[in-house]
Amino acid sequence: MNVDQEIYNIVDENDFIIGKASRKYIHQNKLLHRSVHILVFNSRKELFLQKRALCKDESPGLWDTSTAGHVDAGETYLDCAHREIFEELNLKVLLVPSIKISACNDTHGEHVQVYTCINNEPVKINPGEISEGKFFNLLEIKENISINPDQFTSSFKLIFNQILNNEIKY
């Protein structure tokens, strides 16, 4: 689907729906909208990160959360999360709501609902969305962010600092 065909809700600063428009129109006019980010952990407490495909219009080639996506008009955050994790990683899992982040510059004007899950099944990435992906331990991610912050999306760094950084044990 192209960016003119994707329709999202336009929301206000409190995440109330005030209209809807195409992805292209929303992004061009910097209107607030919704997205989900999912953190997929394995039983060793490692986090799967994806490297966004170079063809993506936002943050191409950068490391990001396990999966993420825009919430379509008429879709709930949870329905979107299930759709995205299946489209991008071919997984059907139990998703647990984590934090919600209000729209800001680091989220590109998106209200973000974060979900987590534990998965030990093989991850099959969608090459149209993701160039590569693998599991990392949290300390390794923290070190990589401090050494090469420009290799990670602003949304991922915000999420990592808000919830994951607190879980790292030394």
Q: Which domain holds residue 79?
A: 7-167
CB-CB contact of 157 with 68 (8 Å): no
Residue 20 within any structural domain of the chain = yes
What do you get for the CA distance between the two ends of the chain, in Å?
45
Residue 75 lies in a domain: yes
Q: 132 in a domain, yes or no?
A: yes
Question: Tell me, what's the pLDDT at 90?
Answer: 96
Say if 92 falls within a structural domain.
yes
Can you give the CATH number for the domain in which 62 is found? 3.90.79.10
Number of domains in the chain: 1
pLDDT at 2: 56
Q: So what's the pLDDT on residue 169?
A: 46
- Asked whether residue 35 is assigned to any structural domain, the reply reads yes
pLDDT along the chain (170 residues), means of 10: 78 97 94 97 96 85 96 97 97 95 94 96 92 95 96 95 64
Stated as kind and residue range, the H or E segment containing 78 is helix 77-89
What's the rounded Cα separation, in Å, for the pair 145 and 94? 28
Cα 14 to Cα 52, 96, 106, 111, 168: the distances in Å are 29, 22, 17, 9, 31
Please report the pLDDT score of residue 75 as a whole number: 97
The H-or-E segment that residue 24 falls in is helix 23-28
- Is 113 a member of any domain? yes
- Identify whether 2 is part of a domain: no
Residue at 1 is within a domain: no
Q: Is the full-model pTM beyond 0.85?
A: yes
